[in-house]
Structure 1
Amino acid sequence: MLLVDDDPAVAKVLGALLTQAGLTTHAARDGREALALLASKPVDVVVSDVRMPGMDGLQVLAEVARGWPDVPVILLTAHGTVPLAVEAMKAGAADFVLKPFDREEILFTVRKALLRAQGEEARQQVRPSGGFIGRSRAMADVQAVLVKAAAGTATVLLRGESGTGKELAAKAVHDASPRRDGPFVKLHCAALPDTLLESELFGYEKGAFTGAATRKPGRVELAHGGTLFLDEVGDISPAVQVKLLRVIQERELERLGGTQTVKVDVRFVAATHQPLEERVKEGRFREDLFYRLNVVPVWIPALRERPDDIEPLALHFLEVHAKTNGRPPFTLMADGLAALRAQPWPGNVRQLQNFLERLVVLSDTQVLGGKEVLQELARQPGLAPAPFAAAPSVSALETPTAPVTDSARTLESQRKEMERQAMVDALKRAGDNRTLAARLLGISRRTLYNKLEEYGLL
């Protein structure tokens, strides 16, 4: 946990509270000190005051979103209003808490952010850059449907595998709609348990549960006048499905612990990779909710079903990541493109983007042919068979030259040596940027720091 507040007393009290709850905390008195700590220590969640001299909380939020997009930010403010909350959510804040804060409320909010961070890390999500890119007929048809859907107010249900760009499609609908100047609010439904998901969606009144020290609007209210994107809606429980159905049908809700009916003007866009029809038959998803969501269904095809899009996507990602990482422009040769097209890309566009970013950072040449692509593919499990040595003969197995325990110990020491060297190489390639090094290694920042400490590299 990183606490950012120019008032040492607030930071001390909050730090003690979180420490008592079993969390490790670091404190910074301003935004610049916070960014320096983020660059040098593993941080899962940032809690920042809004009003600070120099760099304020919203500026801290913007810098964290740019440099550490996987780290959620909670904002503290003594001047809490719905407009400020909407501004914070539009800027990417995970949550906001009013001062003076209640002990249970801040712990509730922090734990909720930790759960969300763990959900994002598990998904290993990297948002696609730019708008839709491609030249396939399949994606042209998708874009045509999205443009038509954007003009109205009907609920849109985005279907397709993970990594195909459903969030990008949802944002495209919002940006092309008459609601484009309103908020675009996102909620990943699968990242939170039922109790937290319900309070996130509908908000709560003061005293609704332990930790509810003040009234707080939910994501539906915050999306008033704009669009609410419900990602992985197929994973919500039957209990939450009932309440969501009512909001979509009636455009009204009650906050948790409240009796007042709140009217909302919201356009719903939902997404799922789940087979909802099968879930309806199994009784795991309400049929009436399915029909309410499925007004304008849009299927986003998997990348393997539109190989013509691999070339424009690859060229786009190479250009973007070369600029981001301070590298000269890259040239993709025909045999390099052929190697990319030959892959199934089970993680779809997201996996292709991650792969090309690693290729940009690790490559020693600006000309990417089949050799360079295949070398990097060999390091990625599930994309291409990794090089392996020939198996020993039966006679060699029957007459070992050393005890099995010694061989196993040697194998373990070799594994650790190779792992340590991989850490050193990644840090060198990343210019000692540990966030980038973790991405190159395909692990979380927390795992990287644990490994660096294990091998004495901190």
Structure 2
Amino acid sequence: MNLEVKKKILVVDDRINSLKVVTAILSDEGYEVLKAADGTEALKIYDSHEDIDLVLSDLKMPGTDGLQLYHKITAIREAPPFIIMTAYGTVKSAVEALKEGVTNYLIKPLDYEELTIILNKAIHEYEISRELRNLKKQVRSEYVFHNIIGTSRKMRAIFDMVRTVGPTDASVMIYGETGTGKELLARSLHMESSRKKAEMVCINSAALTENLLEAELFGHVKGAFTGAGEGRKGRLELADQGTLFLDEIGYMSLRLQAKLLRFLQEKTFEPVGATSSRQVDVRVIAATNFDLQEEIRKNRFLSDLLYRIEVIPIRVPALRDRREDIPLLVSHFVRHYAVQYEKVVDGVTPETMDILTRYNWPGNVRELKNCLARAVLLSKGPRLMPDELSEGIVSGAGPSVRNAGKELLTELPEKGITLRDMESELIRKTLEKCNGNKSLASQCLGISRKTLYEKIGRYGISKF
């Protein structure tokens, strides 16, 4: 293995011969190896070396065993990949250790080729996950709220609403188009509440048939239907003390809506096939991309259910209605996928950003994310070019706002125009092209938002 900077591995084994052999092999592979003959010595070494890239430890050792060592080093600081070595007789213990958070295990006697492959893979994946975490930290705190990125006035208002409503147990109905981040918003409400230490359990009403949805939501007893060999808890019961998120509730049948309404009224429910009720304590958050008032008029949604859930309505804007957030989202996703795909890409060209901010994004943030994942993966240079976007995005973006000045020049009256009037008209046309989005217009004009507002007031541009 050729490494520019030697990766540092801590090897822990109470069998000295085994420790020497593994140390020699890893040293030959180009690793810097620190070795310890027991857990106590390993802890001292780990505590004094903050740049350890991986820990390789025997599972069964006198005193502090491998799993205990893992828990002790995680108490010191975030642990790097931790791999345990075990004999055949203790494989079950090794599998249990995986559930505790250990990265992987190797069976003795070691296959040294397998050893180096697994170590390389573990270190590589850890470095990528660490870089992705660092990227999230680089997004300034005022730009991100529970993993939702946005600085627009509409998004800041939503964040304020979540901070206010989150700590209560009020039911919330989230409205928004597909891909706007309704589940992320539901999770932010959960994380702002006193229930955050319990689970937020999700169920998508659009993804299941009526009978399957009923069994998934309310659970079922043994023999409730063909194939129900064992009883099973539903999502409602699994969410006890936490939050239940009902995604796409508009697709739920009227019969199930009535059953859900009874639960919200009485706080009890009956699993499918049960003869007795069960009680749970959950907060309900729902989401839809339907106009539920229209669904009520068409007798497809129960008005009483809407009134029960829509104690607090929150409407997530489409991405086209918060275009000023697009540059920040683009920057974040490009860096994210550059790390994930190991590409040297650090941004987009102005022409590419112009296209991305003009496109209407019918699939919203999800579509933007997928677009940039593809572009980064296929990129050939450090900045994404327009021809690296899909043809549908480029053609769907329409005419560039950057052409507003050129169009204005072709429309000059024969007698000419004053500089003041030309600037006023250029600002008006740019705002028109940007659908009134002042953040985007200021970027296109090359001025600050403050300057744009001053000029709008000075020239009396009132339409926007």
User: TM-score if structure 1 supplies the norm length?
Assistant: 0.55
Counterpart CA distance in 2 for 1:129 and 1:350 is 17
Q: 1:38-437 residue pairs with structure 2 within 5 A?
A: 54-55=94-95, 131-368=147-384, 372-378=385-391, 383=396
Kindly provide the CA deviation profile for residues 275-300 of structure 1, in whole angstroms up to 9, marking residues without a partner as x: 10001011110010011111100000
Kindly provide the CA deviation profile for residues 348-367 of structure 1, in whole angstroms up to 9, marking residues without a partner as x: 00000000111110010012
How far is 1:373 from its partner? 2.5
Ranges in structure 2 where 5+ consecutive residues have no aligned partner = 1-90, 104-143, 399-464
Kindly provide the CA deviation profile for residues 229-284 of structure 1, in whole angstroms up to 9, marking residues without a partner as x: 00000110001000011112221101111112111100001000011000101111
Instruction: State the identity as a percent.
Output: 40
Counterpart CA distance in 2 for 1:253 and 1:182 is 20
Counterpart CA distance in 2 for 1:57 and 1:247 is 40
How far is 1:334 from its partner? 2.4
Question: Residue 420 of structure 2 aligns with which residue?
Answer: none
Kindly provide the CA deviation profile for residues 97-154 of structure 1, in whole angstroms up to 9, marking residues without a partner as x: xxxxxxxxxxxxxxxxxxxxxxxxxxxxxxx997111110010011111111111001
**3-state SS of paired residue (2:250):** helix
How far is 1:335 from its partner? 2.3
Counterpart CA distance in 2 for 1:129 and 1:185 is 20
How far is 1:214 from its partner? 1.6
Question: Residue 430 of structure 2 aligns with which residue?
Answer: none
Conserved 8 A contact 2:171-2:310: yes
Conserved 8 A contact 2:335-2:347: no
Superposed CA RMSD: 2.6
Counterpart CA distance in 2 for 1:61 and 1:196 is 33
How far is 1:347 from its partner? 0.4
Counterpart CA distance in 2 for 1:202 and 1:266 is 13
**3-state SS of paired residue (1:344):** coil
Counterpart CA distance in 2 for 1:191 and 1:56 is 33
Counterpart CA distance in 1 for 2:228 and 2:199 is 25
Which deviates further from its counterpart, 141-150 or 303-312?
A: 141-150
Conserved 8 A contact 2:244-2:284: yes
Counterpart CA distance in 2 for 1:58 and 1:257 is 37
Conserved 8 A contact 2:146-2:188: no
Counterpart CA distance in 1 for 2:271 and 2:314 is 31
Ranges in structure 1 where 5+ consecutive residues have no aligned partner = 1-50, 64-127, 386-458
Question: Residue 457 of structure 2 aligns with which residue?
Answer: none
Conserved 8 A contact 2:345-2:376: no
How far is 1:326 from its partner? 1.3
Counterpart CA distance in 2 for 1:320 and 1:249 is 44
Counterpart CA distance in 2 for 1:301 and 1:203 is 34
How far is 1:331 from its partner? 2.2
Conserved 8 A contact 2:175-2:315: yes
Conserved 8 A contact 2:378-2:388: no
Conserved 8 A contact 1:163-1:349: yes
**3-state SS of paired residue (1:179):** coil
How far is 1:336 from its partner? 2.0
Q: Could you say if the C-alpha distance between residues 330 and 320 of structure 1 is closer, same or farther in structure 2, counting changes exceeding 3 Å?
A: same
Q: Could you say if the C-alpha distance between residues 364 and 53 of structure 1 is closer, same or farther in structure 2, counting changes exceeding 3 Å?
A: farther
Q: Could you say if the C-alpha distance between residues 209 and 151 of structure 1 is closer, same or farther in structure 2, counting changes exceeding 3 Å?
A: same
How far is 1:57 from its partner? 12
Conserved 8 A contact 1:377-1:383: no
Conserved 8 A contact 2:344-2:381: no
**3-state SS of paired residue (1:205):** coil
**3-state SS of paired residue (1:255):** coil
Question: Residue 80 of structure 2 aligns with which residue?
Answer: none
Kindly provide the CA deviation profile for residues 381-408 of structure 1, in whole angstroms up to 9, marking residues without a partner as x: 97469xxxxxxxxxxxxxxxxxxxxxxx
User: TM-score if structure 2 supplies the norm length?
Assistant: 0.54
Counterpart CA distance in 2 for 1:58 and 1:384 is 48
Counterpart CA distance in 1 for 2:381 and 2:159 is 36
Counterpart CA distance in 2 for 1:318 and 1:62 is 31
Q: Quick one: which amino acid aligns to residue 324 of structure 1?
A: Q
Kindly provide the CA deviation profile for residues 59-80 of structure 1, in whole angstroms up to 9, marking residues without a partner as x: 69999xxxxxxxxxxxxxxxxx
Q: Could you say if the C-alpha distance between residues 57 and 233 of structure 1 is closer, same or farther in structure 2, counting changes exceeding 3 Å?
A: farther
**3-state SS of paired residue (1:182):** coil
How many residue pairs match? The answer is 268
Counterpart CA distance in 1 for 2:326 and 2:319 is 8
Q: Could you say if the C-alpha distance between residues 313 and 244 of structure 1 is closer, same or farther in structure 2, counting changes exceeding 3 Å?
A: same
Higher relative contact order (CA 8 A, sep 6+): 1
Rg bigger for which structure?
A: 2
Q: Could you say if the C-alpha distance between residues 339 and 319 of structure 1 is closer, same or farther in structure 2, counting changes exceeding 3 Å?
A: same
